[in-house]
């Protein structure tokens, strides 16, 4: 469990699959995903436009001075300060896909991206620096496509922790200094190499502590997780991916992966996306990129 987030027991909150697979009730206990969209987690500063004025980010030493002596707070997928779904009143749902990078994580799921383009389905793509360095031509192509918003998935794909807390056996960053680097090295790389000003951040494994959520916001980024797990780290079979996609509704943010072409995410999206689009249309809702929310 090093190359992708969210192992196979992860399930979206709306799904009946939890009962079917016998893991739903244990989803959180097993470090996976059944986030409940608590008010405290979703009522922080609004995403996108709030960060769009690109204020000068906090410097490294200033971040250490401000945060290093503060308590870490809770660590997990849905801690206070991390946004899970879209803000209240959002007229749609959002698909997000991560590219985690690393030894077995530098692939590209062309079937998935082709499906999104064929259906004109907007999505937000979270890029880890390792993946971006391995796929610079693809990054340029994706950044140039208005269908997609590019976001920051960290530099080394570690949990964002102020005290080294771990998730799935993966140690998190060990200090505010390391957490700062995990966010900002990739942020600066994407900006410097590709002209991308990412507004949203999701760390490797999607686990962070409350203090690091505050740090991320002080750096001008919205810490963004999800409400529906589409592929459990690209491990779900296609039918499960399709069911998860179809389960999405207003305000939901789905997470999948587009760096594992040998998985079934692309096939499942192709099967489930048309029904999701129909369902949203019936409700006069739309698929949105994360930064589109204020425009909806």
Binding positions for Zn ion, rule: CB under 5 A: 5, 98, 100, 204
For residue 131, the minimal CB distance to Zn ion (Å) is: 9
CB of 34: closest distance to Zn ion in angstroms?
A: 19
Distance CA 216, CA 214 (A): 5
Residue of this chain nearest to Zn ion (CB atom)? 100
Distances 279 to 85, 92, 124, 175, 185 between C-alpha atoms, Å = 18, 11, 20, 44, 40
CB closer to Zn ion out of 5 and 252: 5
Q: What does the block give as tokens for 209?
A: 């502590």
Q: Which is nearer to Zn ion, 67 or 236 (CB)?
A: 236
* Positive/negative CA dihedral, 166, 168, 170, 172: negative
Closest to Zn ion by CB, 83 or 155 = 155
Within 8 A by CB and 6+ apart from 124, the residues are 94, 95, 96, 97, 148, 149, 150, 151, 200, 289, 290, 291
Helix or strand run (H / E) with residue 188: helix 176-194
φ/ψ of 58, rounded to 5, equals -60, 135
Judged by beta carbon, residue 98 or residue 231, the one nearer Zn ion is 98
The CA-atom distances, in angstroms, between 79 and each of 4, 71, 76, 83, 180 are 20, 14, 6, 9, 18
Classified as helix, coil or strand, 222 is: strand
- For residue 259, the minimal CB distance to Zn ion (Å) is 8
Rank residues 76 and 204 by Cβ distance to Zn ion and give the closer one: 204
**The token pair that represents 6 in the structure block:** 């969210």
CB of 100 to Zn ion, least distance (A): 3
Tokens at 119, concatenated: 């259906």
Residue pair 162/209 in contact (Cβ under 8 Å)? The answer is: yes
Q: Which is nearer to Zn ion, 151 or 280 (CB)?
A: 151
State which residue, 58 or 100, has the beta carbon closest to Zn ion. Answer: 100
Q: Both tokens of residue 281?
A: 């249309």
* Residue 4 CB, nearest approach to Zn ion (Å): 6
- C-beta of 155 vs 162, nearer to Zn ion: 155
We find the least distance from the C-beta atom of residue 175 to Zn ion, in angstroms, to be: 21
In the complex, minimum distance from the CB of residue 56 to Zn ion, in angstroms, rounded to a whole number: 28
Min dist. Cβ of residue 270 to Zn ion (A): 22
């Amino acid at each position: 469990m090093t190359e992708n987030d969210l192992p196979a027991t992860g399930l979206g909150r709306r799904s009946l699959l939890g009962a079917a697979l016998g893991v739903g009730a244990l989803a959180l206990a097993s470090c996976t995903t059944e986030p409940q969209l608590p008010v405290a987690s979703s009522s922080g500063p609004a995403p996108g436009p709030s960060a769009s004025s690109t204020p000068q980010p906090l410097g490294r030493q200033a971040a250490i001075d401000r945060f290093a002596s503060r308590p870490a707070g809770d660590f997990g997928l849905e801690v206070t300060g991390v946004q899970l779904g879209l803000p209240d009143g959002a007229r749609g749902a959002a698909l997000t896909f991560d590219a985690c990078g690393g030894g077995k994580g530098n692939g590209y799921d062309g079937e998935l991206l082709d499906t999104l383009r064929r259906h004109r389905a907007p999505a937000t793509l979270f890029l880890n620096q390792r993946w971006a360095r391995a796929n610079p031509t693809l990054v340029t192509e994706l950044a140039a496509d208005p269908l997609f918003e590019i976001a920051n998935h960290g530099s080394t794909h570690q949990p964002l922790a102020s005290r080294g807390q771990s998730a799935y056996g993966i140690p998190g960053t060990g200090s505010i200094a390391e957490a700062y680097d995990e966010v900002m090295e990739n942020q600066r790389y994407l900006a410097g190499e590709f002209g991308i000003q990412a507004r949203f951040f999701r760390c490797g494994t999607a686990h962070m502590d409350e203090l690091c959520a505050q740090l991320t916001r002080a750096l001008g980024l919205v810490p963004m997780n999800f409400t529906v797990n589409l592929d459990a780290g690209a491990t779900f079979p296609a039918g499960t991916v399709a069911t998860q996609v179809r389960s999405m509704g207003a305000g939901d943010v789905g997470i999948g992966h587009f760096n594992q072409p040998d998985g079934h995410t692309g096939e499942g999206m192709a099967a489930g996306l048309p029904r999701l689009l129909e369902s949203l249309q019936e409700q006069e809702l739309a698929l949105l990129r994360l930064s589109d929310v204020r425009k909806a």
